[in-house]
Chain A
């Protein structure tokens, strides 16, 4: 039943750029103003070395102190202008970048939540989780700090280089001599760093695995006296990650060295050119000094630009993965969704195969009356879960149709179907947040009373009323841990609040495991009361109390009838199962 691993789509370069462009379009004006503000700030910043160069000339010319006030006033203007424009730039930049980021993460999560279960499972939850987790965080980091730095440093670099050219075009050319050295450095660095960063990420992932194993499994490791082995494993993984990180840093320092070389080349060239131009009388000593200062001021911004290549590159890769998810087409909704006549479910000739695998359902047909409670019974691999997923609309069957109230799933549309049919599956999840918020996930407008009533119906009142903060108790990750039966009761309470006409329960009580099993079975029975239900029964008591039992084997329905009829059936499969179960 394991489908081959396919990854979620990744956008190509053009598609990624288009996605980014779409997101930026809403903030076009602010984006333009951001650039204007940064350029203005850099321009004012440039005024200072220029004015100071003038001061050098004045000193050499033996001018009096009367020129000094003008110099000082211009420096003050430069300071005020650069400061104000920088504030404007940073504020505008964050408006643009952070809004784009919020839009991206919202679209990714919204789209990820609407993936069909089968799409999500075919790719493994890992890929999807790493997109909404790691990729969003990489892009957040880039947009929050790297992009503003790059924009600002880029503005300063362009304006300053322009300034050097403004002093004398030959000084500008001298400054540009740094360019080939920088390019050489980047071209040396990037192909070497990418695989090393990949290795580092891998090593960090393995280290995290070992640590999570140690922290979560500590009791088990102690029980088996395997603590020392695991400490050694943590030690080995951590040492490996450390060694790779140190190697990565070595590479970085060599890259830093190439930046120093570029700085040296350009600074020396500017000084030599300045010497030559002053000697030829083409420029003043002050202009030569200003050019050197200009370039000295560029050390920082140029370093920023070089050092952020990596993170821009990885942010681009993450962005492509986000846009890939965002751009996944949604299933088409019918223009005018049909209304089901009642809560009957009719399954006709449904067959299914996962990808190119063998058929796991062979032309299954089954009619369920409104309000009827049907239990599906069969060994692992009989196709129960597949059939349940098809009926719930989480899986598109290879052949056959499913009608709800006489309307096909296609005519109902995705949304219409979800309103009619709910599925509670075995892997319960407690959502982080208050208990009340969790219970309300399917119906946000439910009142506290309605929530408490729903919890009561599934028999959760006992433990809920024992909670210190009642419905306000924080549960899930980072909050109070609920036991597996409690989590299942919560899942059933959500279902009660949503109040769908048709319910599919897929082994929702299978993991109960102990004294709680009885309570959970009662809770499940209460939750499906009055609804058309298809229950994948793991415990045969669930089958015994159903209106009808359907036995599946190897993708086919092999027996059906009431519990008593099937038990009485001589040599029947259900009768055999029941004896194995009860006759001990």
Chain B
């Protein structure tokens, strides 16, 4: 059973409980059979003390060799059933759990990567924990409920055996065990509160450790490593204090539970001993009662622990359900692609943009100099289709058609925005280059590499294009990432390409080469339109036209040289 084929779940209105019910329904075969088998296992566990009692009563006490052989044979059968029932039952339940977690994980990824973009403030770290720890914890409900069912079966069997021996004795055990566990449970919230304080503190300390070591270079540069170490020690000692407090409560809780179950055993022994000494029950029955009184605590505790786990699972399931219910950002229209000019902005308002008019003609390469970075960010957000339509005013036309009327796939195919912060992915350098065009030829690829100056990056490593990127390209310098990002963007050959400071991290000589390469490659296609936000004079000088933004609108326009001569603010922004 693989998840690739799983259809998108209903996007709206699923609840945490609904998500869990769906989990059980999707895994119903495995869970049903698994439950039967683990219940059988619990039943056998319950029978072990019974068989011990029977062997003592029928074989050892009367010295009956035949009964001994029968008893041991029964024990062998019992253990065989017990062990195989657990092996196959637990496997089925764990397989159900793993499969469902996998499905949820992939569904989270699919939601996050929905082409229409998810309207959420959740940060990547939070999304990641939804796909990992929350998915794991939500599906904890599957084994938890299965063990509850098994525990109840064990309890019922024990109850039947006990009640058949003596109704009064049976009632003592069946009322006493939950009572004892209930009292012990009273301490759980106390322990749980301390434990969660401790866990939170431990998490902070662990995060501080990796954070400080990660920034170790900056610390050593300032000679601040000893101060940082002291800070970490303080955090670690705080965690130690909370851990010890939690451990004390856990110790008290464990001791109390040992004490109470011991006292309960004394009570059972007193009652059943009284009956046995008076001859009301047999010796085998005495042994069985005492054995079961100790055994019964196990399924009852199991039920209690599993109910707690189900509560935790529900909390995670709710978070996952919330994700499934989030709306999308992008409008997904049904209009056909137009054949107008590549990009037209009229009175665009969004974020810091107040009334932006901008035209991008076929074959044109326009430079964009924003005095305020916020204007560039707002514009790239709109063009990337990441702005909520209700917050965008004015008109954005892509090839003459309003952006929001087009299918989202067509918008992305028409307008490509390569962000300033280049994100790379696991895989080889070559895989990353082909992200937007898997069918590119080697010739096209080499052209894009040369134009962006990324051929150096490829040549600098013995594996070249086959070089595997670890940690999403963490081993590359800022300039290398930037040039790979640019090569990838050029290779995609989008009708409208939007770049944001594509040469900010490369040195002056390389920058001039990239400016030439980038402009020549885009101009090679007479229909390709390009918008480059940049402060690089080398790049601006090669642009057909430069647009200057201030206060959210266009304040000047012309060639680089013209603007240099006429606009002092422009000159001071781009000369260096």
Task: Name the contact of B95 in the complex, choosing from A98, A132, A246, A272 (C-beta under 8 A).
Answer: A246
Q: Which stretch, A16-24, A352-360, A418-426, touches the partner chain B?
A: A418-426
Nearest Cβ in chain A — how far from B200, in angstroms? 12
Q: How far is the CA of A46 from the CA of B51 in the complex (A)?
A: 21
Q: A59-B277, A109-B229, A511-B505 are in contact. Are A580 and B512 (CB under 8 A)?
A: yes
Q: How far is the CA of A217 from the CA of B421 in the complex (A)?
A: 10
Is B167 an interface residue, CB under 8 A from the partner?
Answer: no
> Are B266 and A79 touching (Cβ within 8 A)?
yes
Task: Name the contact of B371 in the complex, choosing from A60, A102, A264, A515 (C-beta under 8 A).
Answer: A515
Scan B126-137; emit 1 where CB is below 8 A from any A CB, else 0: 011001100000
Q: How far is the CA of A136 from the CA of B212 in the complex (A)?
A: 14
CB-contacts of B226-260 with A (<8 A): 226-233, 236-237, 239-240, 243-244, 247-248, 250-252, 254-260
Q: Which stretch, A285-293, A309-317, A546-554, touches the partner chain B?
A: A285-293
Scan A76-116; emit 1 where CB is below 8 A from any B CB, else 0: 10111011101111110111001101100110111011111
Q: How far is the CA of A267 from the CA of B52 in the complex (A)?
A: 9
Chain B, Cβ-Cβ closest to A289: B56
Q: Which stretch, A178-186, A187-195, A205-213, A449-457, touches the partner chain B?
A: A205-213
Q: How far is the CA of A89 from the CA of B512 in the complex (A)?
A: 72
Q: A68-B273, A584-B541 are in contact. Are A235 and B2 (CB under 8 A)?
A: yes
CB-contacts of A260-294 with B (<8 A): 260-261, 263-264, 267-268, 271-272, 274-275, 278-279, 285, 288-289, 292-293
CB-contacts of A334-358 with B (<8 A): none
Nearest Cβ in chain B — how far from A68, in angstroms? 5
> Are B576 and A231 touching (Cβ within 8 A)?
no
> Are A423 and B221 touching (Cβ within 8 A)?
yes
Q: Which stretch, B107-115, B153-161, B303-311, B392-400, touches the partner chain A?
A: B107-115
Nearest Cβ in chain A — how far from B445, in angstroms? 15
Chain A, Cβ-Cβ closest to B250: A90
Q: A86-B251, A86-B254, A218-B112 are in contact. Are A424 and B68 (CB under 8 A)?
A: no
Task: Name the contact of B113 in the complex, choosing from A48, A222, A289, A513 (C-beta under 8 A).
Answer: A222
Scan B79-115; emit 1 where CB is below 8 A from any A CB, else 0: 1001110110011001100110110011001101111
> Are B209 and A105 touching (Cβ within 8 A)?
yes
Q: How far is the CA of A125 from the CA of B385 in the complex (A)?
A: 36
Q: Which stretch, A157-165, A248-256, A559-567, touches the partner chain B?
A: A248-256
Q: How far is the CA of A89 from the CA of B424 in the complex (A)?
A: 52
Q: CB-CB < 8 A to A431: which residues of B?
A: 211-212, 215
Chain B, Cβ-Cβ closest to A540: B508
> Are B269 and A52 touching (Cβ within 8 A)?
yes
> Are A217 and B220 touching (Cβ within 8 A)?
no
Q: CB-CB < 8 A to B436: which residues of A?
A: 223-226
Task: Name the contact of B287 in the complex, choosing from A253, A289, A430 (C-beta under 8 A).
Answer: A289
Q: Given A215-B128, A297-B294, 8 other A-B contacts at CB below 8 A? A: A75-B262, A76-B262, A82-B262, A83-B255, A83-B257, A242-B101, A275-B55, A293-B290
Task: Name the contact of B61 in the complex, choosing from A91, A232, A239, A285 (C-beta under 8 A).
Answer: A285
> Are B114 and A539 touching (Cβ within 8 A)?
no
Is B413 an interface residue, CB under 8 A from the partner?
Answer: yes
A-B pairs, top 7 by smallest CB distance, nearest first, are A79-B262, A418-B223, A513-B504, A83-B259, A87-B255, A429-B215, A94-B247
Q: A48-B262, A129-B214, A288-B60 are in contact. Are A87 and B426 (CB under 8 A)?
A: no
Is B48 an interface residue, CB under 8 A from the partner?
Answer: yes
Is B524 an interface residue, CB under 8 A from the partner?
Answer: no
Scan A404-418; emit 1 where CB is below 8 A from any B CB, else 0: 000000000001001
Chain A, Cβ-Cβ closest to B242: A98
Q: CB-CB < 8 A to A215: which residues of B?
A: 112, 124-125, 127-128, 131
Q: CB-CB < 8 A to B243: which residues of A?
A: 94, 98, 144
Q: How far is the CA of A495 from the CA of B223 in the complex (A)?
A: 10
> Are A82 and B239 touching (Cβ within 8 A)?
no
Nearest Cβ in chain B — how far from A554, in angstroms? 15
> Are A271 and B55 touching (Cβ within 8 A)?
yes
Q: CB-CB < 8 A to A65: which residues of B?
A: 274, 277-278
> Are B229 and A110 touching (Cβ within 8 A)?
yes
> Are A580 and B102 touching (Cβ within 8 A)?
no
Nearest Cβ in chain A — how far from B282, in angstroms? 9
CB-contacts of B499-545 with A (<8 A): 501, 504-505, 507-509, 512, 533, 535, 537-538, 540-541
Chain A, Cβ-Cβ closest to B75: A268
Q: CB-CB < 8 A to A112: which residues of B?
A: 213, 216
> Are A296 and B291 touching (Cβ within 8 A)?
yes
Q: CB-CB < 8 A to A87: which residues of B?
A: 251-252, 254-256
**Range of interface residues on chain A?**
35 or more
Q: How far is the CA of A213 from the CA of B244 in the complex (A)?
A: 38
Q: CB-CB < 8 A to B98: which residues of A?
A: 242, 245-246
Chain B, Cβ-Cβ closest to A148: B247
> Are A91 and B240 touching (Cβ within 8 A)?
no
> Are B60 and A223 touching (Cβ within 8 A)?
no
Is B183 an interface residue, CB under 8 A from the partner?
Answer: no
Is B373 an interface residue, CB under 8 A from the partner?
Answer: yes
Is A471 an interface residue, CB under 8 A from the partner?
Answer: no
Is A168 an interface residue, CB under 8 A from the partner?
Answer: no
Q: CB-CB < 8 A to B212: which residues of A?
A: 109, 113, 431
> Are A98 and B228 touching (Cβ within 8 A)?
no
Is A427 an interface residue, CB under 8 A from the partner?
Answer: yes
Task: Name the contact of B259 in the complex, choosing from A58, A84, A512 (C-beta under 8 A).
Answer: A84
Is B390 an interface residue, CB under 8 A from the partner?
Answer: no
Q: How far is the CA of A90 from the CA of B125 in the complex (A)?
A: 36
Q: CB-CB < 8 A to A415: which residues of B?
A: 223
Is B556 an interface residue, CB under 8 A from the partner?
Answer: no
Q: CB-CB < 8 A to B425: which residues of A?
A: 213, 217, 221, 230
Q: CB-CB < 8 A to A271: which residues of B?
A: 52, 55-56, 59-60, 68, 71-72, 75
Q: How far is the CA of A115 from the CA of B225 in the complex (A)?
A: 10
> Are B213 and A113 touching (Cβ within 8 A)?
yes
Chain B, Cβ-Cβ closest to A128: B213
Task: Name the contact of A268 in the complex, choosing from B76, B94, B576 (C-beta under 8 A).
Answer: B76
Is B466 an interface residue, CB under 8 A from the partner?
Answer: no
> Are B220 and A428 touching (Cβ within 8 A)?
no
Nearest Cβ in chain B — how far from A372, in angstroms? 20
Q: CB-CB < 8 A to B59: which residues of A?
A: 271, 275
> Are B60 and A274 touching (Cβ within 8 A)?
yes
Q: A71-B269, A275-B60 are in contact. Are A296 and B255 (CB under 8 A)?
A: no
Is A526 an interface residue, CB under 8 A from the partner?
Answer: no
> Are A208 and B287 touching (Cβ within 8 A)?
no
Is B555 an interface residue, CB under 8 A from the partner?
Answer: no
Scan A456-490; emit 1 where CB is below 8 A from any B CB, else 0: 00000000000000000000111000000000000
Q: A246-B98, A425-B217 are in contact. Are A478 and B207 (CB under 8 A)?
A: yes
CB-contacts of B141-156 with A (<8 A): none
Is A35 an interface residue, CB under 8 A from the partner?
Answer: no
Q: CB-CB < 8 A to B72: which residues of A?
A: 268, 271-272
Is A444 an interface residue, CB under 8 A from the partner?
Answer: yes
Q: CB-CB < 8 A to B263: which residues of A?
A: 75-76, 79
Q: How far is the CA of A444 from the CA of B216 in the complex (A)?
A: 17
Q: Can you list 11 contacts pairing A with B, beta carbon distance less than 8 Å? A: A72-B266, A83-B257, A89-B251, A110-B233, A132-B213, A222-B412, A224-B435, A231-B106, A275-B65, A380-B507, A425-B217
Nearest Cβ in chain A — how far from B406, in angstroms? 14
Q: CB-CB < 8 A to A36: which residues of B?
A: none
Is B117 an interface residue, CB under 8 A from the partner?
Answer: yes
Q: CB-CB < 8 A to B277: which residues of A?
A: 58-59, 63-65, 67-68
Nearest Cβ in chain B — how far from A530, in angstroms? 17
Q: How far is the CA of A113 from the CA of B228 in the complex (A)?
A: 8
Nearest Cβ in chain B — how far from A34, in angstroms? 11
Is A577 an interface residue, CB under 8 A from the partner?
Answer: yes
CB-contacts of B334-385 with A (<8 A): 370-373, 376, 384-385
> Are B413 and A422 touching (Cβ within 8 A)?
no
Is A12 an interface residue, CB under 8 A from the partner?
Answer: no
Is A238 an interface residue, CB under 8 A from the partner?
Answer: yes
Which of A83, A109, A478 is most buried by chain B, counting CB atoms within 10 A of its CB?
A109
